[in-house]
């Protein structure tokens, strides 16, 4: 993160500041406190559908304001306004006052103080800013590169059909309140998703690969149209897996009954987000919808996991698990309440040790905010994850290679990838894209068909035994909590070994 003096200033900053200041001044004459966040996103993107239809959108612009009015007695209301001009904002505030009048007192409501209130600027300046430099050549080059990869993987029998969705967006954010806080952030985010469909007659199989990181698409494809070696390699691997999946089989009932271990590749760790992250979000805890933390904040399950389990949410870590401030698809420098993002240690030594907080939940639980208060373009700010990662302490349980990790496994499966997950109070479900069978400590080379991995929140972490490889936030995705989309990642060491138990289950399509 750059120093405040070096951080970029959003465009039209003076006009936006003026509008927010005037609107908050209007609000302050009617309520004791108000704050606002305005987010504006400039996005360029390419879609290529399975039909071959390609759509390049070099310029889309979206933005919205969220204003929070806090009245006497802890009454509060949030209003979304479409435009950041004074008239629109003041009209929205006036409408919000009608709703505020209908609210009962809420003596427990409050907002934790914004740390470091005087610092104004955060972020990283865009390189090859797509607002100034036409992104079309790079977007088209990306599509051509993916087409070429697909063609190279096709055979006389099998056609590989690619789908591409990639974008780069410049996100600008302003946070201000009636106490004089004024903060801005500028971030560039790049995202690439490729689906390979292998088609043989009426048979189909598919794999999906995602990349997402702070910074533009230049990190994935250079100006000459060459994919980065890492991206090209991973795409080629997943393309070939899609073809192999045409001949994959599900595990048999006997194999499932006899399985002793699951080994999850870093691409299949969505259960960390769905099953363990959500129940430690303080707003879910407070509502009574967490199966592992009671509404008062006291852990209902202790220990939650085995002694080697440590989970952290924050900026993405390096391979050793140390957070790096400007890395990770879910990373920001300040949240949408102006709180500087800091790492929140959620589980350590298998015990729940912390929660993720907005200003509101931090006040209710009497702790410092963690910078987890986010909204989607003008929606209400709620507690959201950023990069949620298994970051174990060093020890004998963390080995270097998959081969070492597989030692002692009688019958197991290494599971890769997910097309998404979902969470309920008790547990979670995520698809798996493919797997490899393990017998007597060795990979057999047999490829296993897509399945569904389920984990019960209260016990699944107890089955984690060991890890292999460096930590990586590989699971790039979008969380839809409260119908608000937010970019996030989940991750951990390259492989995570779980013992079979009643807490976890793998099933296959009929």
Partner 1 sequence: MTSMNTAFASVRALAEAVRARVAHVTDDVEVRVERADQVAYVIEGRALIPELECDAWRVAMRARKGGRLAIAATTGSSVDDAAGALLRSLSAAQPDALEDFAALHETPPDGRGWDDAAAAMIDRPAQVRALAASMADAARAAAPGASLVLEGGLKVGRTWRAMATARGATVLSASTVGSAFLMVDGNEWDSLAGTAAPTEHGVRALGRELIVELPPREVTVAEWLGGPKEVTVLIDPRLLEALLRALFLERVGLDRVVSGLSNAAVGDVVGAPIFSLFDDTGAAASLAGAVIDHEGIIGQRKTVVERGVLRTLLADRRSAKVAWGGASTGNGFRLPMMAEDASEAPVRVGMGHLDVPAGNTPRLKLVPGRTVVLTDLLGVHSANKATGAFNNPVQGGVALEDGVPVARLKAGAWSATGNFHTMLRALSGVSAERLHTGTASLPWVAAPVRLS
Residue 445 token pair: 């080379």
To the nearest whole angstrom, how small is the minimum distance from the Cβ of residue 212 to partner 1? 10
Helix residue ranges per DSSP H, 245-330? 253-258, 270-271, 282-287
**Nearest CB to partner 1, comparing residues 195 and 325:** 195
**Nearest CB to partner 1, comparing residues 371 and 451:** 451
To the nearest whole angstrom, how small is the minimum distance from the Cβ of residue 456 to partner 1? 5
**Nearest CB to partner 1, comparing residues 41 and 368:** 41
Contacts of residue 443, Cβ cutoff 8 Å, sequence gap at least 6? 402, 406, 414, 436, 437
Torsion angle in degrees (nearest 10) through CA of 220, 323, 306, 441: 40
**Nearest CB to partner 1, comparing residues 52 and 319:** 52
**Nearest CB to partner 1, comparing residues 80 and 244:** 80
Torsion angle in degrees (nearest 10) through CA of 330, 332, 336, 341: 100
Side by side, the strands of the sheet bearing 504-508 are 421-423, 427-432, 451-456, 504-508
**Nearest CB to partner 1, comparing residues 30 and 80:** 80
**Nearest CB to partner 1, comparing residues 80 and 439:** 80
Helices 13-28 and 86-102: angle between axes, nearest 10 degrees: 30
Contacts of residue 452, Cβ cutoff 8 Å, sequence gap at least 6? 429, 430, 431, 432, 506, 507, 508, 509
CA 217 to chain centre: 18
CA gap 69, 347 in Å, rounded: 34
CA gap 55, 66 in Å, rounded: 31
**Nearest CB to partner 1, comparing residues 67 and 124:** 67
To the nearest whole angstrom, how small is the minimum distance from the Cβ of residue 479 to partner 1? 10
To the nearest whole angstrom, how small is the minimum distance from the Cβ of residue 391 to partner 1? 26
Answer left, alpha or beta for residue 92, where phi above 0 means left and psi between -120 and 50 means alpha.
alpha
Taking the CB of residue 204, how many other CB atoms lie within 10 A of it? Answer: 13
CB 461 within 8 A of CB 305: yes
Residue 451 token pair: 């399945």
Q: How many CA atoms, within 13 angstroms, populate the side-chain half-sphere of residue 92?
A: 25
**Nearest CB to partner 1, comparing residues 321 and 417:** 417
To the nearest whole angstrom, how small is the minimum distance from the Cβ of residue 505 to partner 1? 7
CA gap 59, 110 in Å, rounded: 40
To the nearest whole angstrom, how small is the minimum distance from the Cβ of residue 79 to partner 1? 4
CB 342 within 8 A of CB 386: no
CB 386 within 8 A of CB 233: no
Per-residue burial over 150-167, b if 16 or more Cβ lie within 10 Å, else e, is beebeeeebbbbbbbbbb
To the nearest whole angstrom, how small is the minimum distance from the Cβ of residue 482 to partner 1? 8
To the nearest whole angstrom, how small is the minimum distance from the Cβ of residue 445 to partner 1? 24
Residue 283 token pair: 């707003």
To the nearest whole angstrom, how small is the minimum distance from the Cβ of residue 199 to partner 1? 7
To the nearest whole angstrom, how small is the minimum distance from the Cβ of residue 468 to partner 1? 27
**Nearest CB to partner 1, comparing residues 58 and 441:** 58
Rounded alpha-carbon distances, angstroms, from residue 487 to 267, 393, 410, 437: 16, 27, 38, 32
**Nearest CB to partner 1, comparing residues 286 and 497:** 286
**Nearest CB to partner 1, comparing residues 202 and 254:** 202
**Nearest CB to partner 1, comparing residues 3 and 53:** 53
To the nearest whole angstrom, how small is the minimum distance from the Cβ of residue 81 to partner 1? 5
CB 248 within 8 A of CB 434: yes
* Residue keyed to tokens 């393309």: 239
CA gap 277, 177 in Å, rounded: 29
To the nearest whole angstrom, how small is the minimum distance from the Cβ of residue 6 to partner 1? 29
To the nearest whole angstrom, how small is the minimum distance from the Cβ of residue 162 to partner 1? 12
């Amino acid at each position: 993160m750059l120093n405040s003096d070096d951080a970029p200033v959003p465009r039209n900053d003076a006009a936006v500041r003026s509008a927010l200041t005037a609107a908050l001044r209007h609000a302050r004459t009617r309520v004791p406190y108000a704050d606002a966040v305005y987010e504006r996103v400039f996005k360029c993107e390419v879609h290529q559908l399975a039909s071959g239809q390609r759509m390049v959108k070099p310029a889309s612009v979206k933005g919205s304001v969220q204003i929070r009015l806090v009245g006497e007695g802890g009454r509060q209301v949030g209003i979304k306004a479409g435009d950041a001009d004074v008239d629109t904002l003041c009209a929205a505030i006036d409408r919000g006052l009608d709703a505020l009048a209908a609210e009962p007192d809420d003596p427990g409501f409050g907002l934790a103080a914004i740390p470091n209130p005087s610092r104004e600027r955060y972020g990283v300046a865009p390189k090859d800013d797509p607002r100034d430099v036409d992104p079309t050549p790079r977007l088209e080059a990306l599509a051509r590169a993916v087409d070429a990869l697909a063609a190279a993987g096709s055979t006389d029998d099998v056609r590989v059909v690619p789908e591409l969705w990639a974008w780069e967006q410049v996100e600008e954010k302003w946070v201000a309140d009636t106490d004089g806080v004024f903060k801005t952030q500028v971030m560039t985010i790049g995202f690439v998703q490729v689906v390979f469909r292998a088609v043989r007659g009426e048979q189909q199989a598919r794999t999906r690969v995602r990349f997402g990181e702070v910074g533009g698409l230049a990190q994935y494809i250079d100006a000459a149209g060459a994919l980065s070696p890492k991206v090209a390699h991973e795409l080629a691997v997943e393309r070939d897996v899609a073809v192999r999946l045409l001949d994959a089989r599900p595990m048999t009932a006997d194999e499932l009954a006899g399985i002793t271990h699951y080994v999850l590749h870093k691409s299949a760790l969505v259960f960390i987000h769905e099953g363990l992250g959500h129940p430690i979000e303080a707003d879910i805890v407070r509502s009574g919808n967490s199966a592992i933390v009671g509404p008062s904040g006291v852990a209902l399950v202790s220990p939650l996991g085995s002694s080697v389990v440590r989970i952290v949410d924050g900026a993405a870590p390096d391979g050793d698990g140390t957070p790096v401030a400007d890395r990770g698809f879910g990373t920001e420098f300040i949240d949408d309440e102006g709180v500087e993002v800091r790492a929140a240690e959620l589980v350590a030594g298998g015990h729940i040790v912390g929660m993720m907080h907005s200003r509101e939940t931090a006040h209710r639980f009497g702790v410092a905010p963690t910078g987890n208060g986010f909204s989607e373009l003008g929606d209400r700010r709620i507690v959201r994850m950023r990069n949620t990662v298994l970051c174990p302490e060093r020890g004998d349980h963390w080995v270097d290679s998959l081969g070492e990790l597989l030692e002692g496994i009688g019958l197991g499966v290494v599971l890769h990838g997910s097309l998404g997950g979902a969470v309920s109070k008790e547990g979670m479900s995520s698809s798996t894209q493919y797997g490899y069978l393990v017998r007597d400590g060795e990979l057999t080379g047999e490829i296993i068909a897509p399945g569904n991995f389920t984990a019960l929140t209260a016990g699944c972490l107890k089955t984690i035994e060991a890890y292999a490889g460096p930590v990586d936030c590989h699971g790039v995705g979008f969380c839809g909590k409260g119908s608000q989309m937010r970019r996030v990642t989940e991750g951990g060491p390259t492989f995570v070994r779980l013992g079979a138990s009643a807490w976890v289950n793998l099933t296959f399509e009929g």
